[in-house]
Amino acid sequence: MALNKQQQEILDELGRVTNAFDKSINRLMPDIKREVYEMIISKIEKFKLSNKGENFSVSKQVDNLKLLQEIKQGMKQIYEDSGYNALIKDFNKSYRKTVPIIDKYFNTLVKEYKGNKELYDSLRKLAIDKSNEQLLRGGLDANITKQVEEILSQNITSGGRLVDTRRQLRDFIVGNKDEIGQYERYVKQITNDSVQQYNQQYINTVSDDLNLEWYYYKGTTIKDTRYFCCLRENNYYRRKDVISWADLEWAGKNKNTTKSNIVVMRGGYNCRHIMIPVNASVVPDRFKESKEPVYDSGCEGRKKKIRINGRKQWEKAK
């Protein structure tokens, strides 16, 4: 085991702080989804639908555009009134809470280690600006509002039935028995990725500065753990091995993954694993002596419990 009791307690604390926001989102999301859906449904009956091949009059087009604008404004008002905007602003405060915990971990690796406040402040400002863009400004509009507008526009111009429009909107906003709605999925993924990548960026930058070569792929397999992560979980890897993973393809890989940021991106979208730098002295000999990176063959026996795409993904993930 790479981590001693003190280190494990520190990282457990980091996990609790990092994951605390999920509970707030889970409490708020059901009400927001319902309000957005009900507001849109209350307005779509006023839309002027066309029969296939029928040209809209200018007046009908103007009326529909006005209704679309009302829906967009209504969604923005719900975000404000429901507490969503305030929740995201509160989420941005979480960036202040994690770095001191990470610094405590580095204190266990290097005597008299002192955190880099300038680095911390720079990364925090970048992270806050990015999360605001994705969750309060353009990102929310492009990924949620625009998609709702697209569903409505397609049904307006193609002569779609009202019942079908309602179903499409419900699946997209609220979700169905098979999956959660896109709005909730988007917000959860962005908030998780934002803070996890922020933590990992700080860890990686400090690790580089301290010339730490080895990483421990820390995490726990859950029902939707990626095969990529299962293979690496609780194993040790040299930095050069981690960098080589950027050339692989696997389900859920972040499209922006490169050799320079693979440590930050890790398993991809919504990944909750963490790459922990460790001193070479704690790395078991079987990892040091192996000519090739060591992967967990035990994942082969857990195929039914994790999200995988068969043998081909096993080969690609390695």
Which amino acid is residue 122, in one-letter code? S
- Mean pLDDT rounded to a whole number for the chain: 84
- How many other CB atoms are there within 10 angstroms of residue 185's CB atom? 14
- Look at the block and give the residue holding tokens 């863009």: 133
116: DSSP letter: -
Whether residue 80 contacts residue 88, with contact meaning beta carbons closer than 8 Å, is answered with no
Q: Give ∠ CA 74-26-305 in degrees, rounded to 5.
A: 125
DSSP for 212-274, please give it. --EEEEE----TT-BHHHHHHTT-EEEHHHHHHGGG---TT--TT--TTTHHHHTTSTT---E
Q: Please state the separation of Cα 192 from the chain's center in Å.
A: 4
**Mean of pLDDT values over 223-248:** 91
What percentage of the chain reaches a pLDDT higher than 90? 41
* Alpha-carbon dihedral sign for residues 114, 118, 123, 125: positive
pLDDT tier at 111, thresholds 50, 70, 90: confident
Convert the pLDDT of each residue in 169-216 to its tens digit: 999 999 988 888 988 889 889 988 999 999 999 999 999 999 999 999
Measuring CA to CA, which residue among 139, 149, 144, 246 is closest to residue 193? 139
Residue 283's contacts (CB-CB under 8 Å, 6 or more residues apart) are 2, 214, 236
306: DSSP letter: S
Convert the pLDDT of each residue in 244-298 to its tens digit: 999 999 989 999 999 999 999 999 999 999 999 999 999 999 999 998 999 876 6
Three-state DSSP class for residue 163: helix
Distances (CA, A) of 172 to 33, 88, 167, 202, 272: 10, 21, 9, 35, 25
Residue 165's contacts (CB-CB under 8 Å, 6 or more residues apart) are 44, 151, 152, 155
Bridge partners of 236?
216
Q: Where are the domains of the chain?
A: 1-190, 212-318
Residue 56 has pLDDT above 70, yes or no: no
* Alpha-carbon dihedral sign for residues 67, 68, 70, 75: positive
pTM comes to 0.82
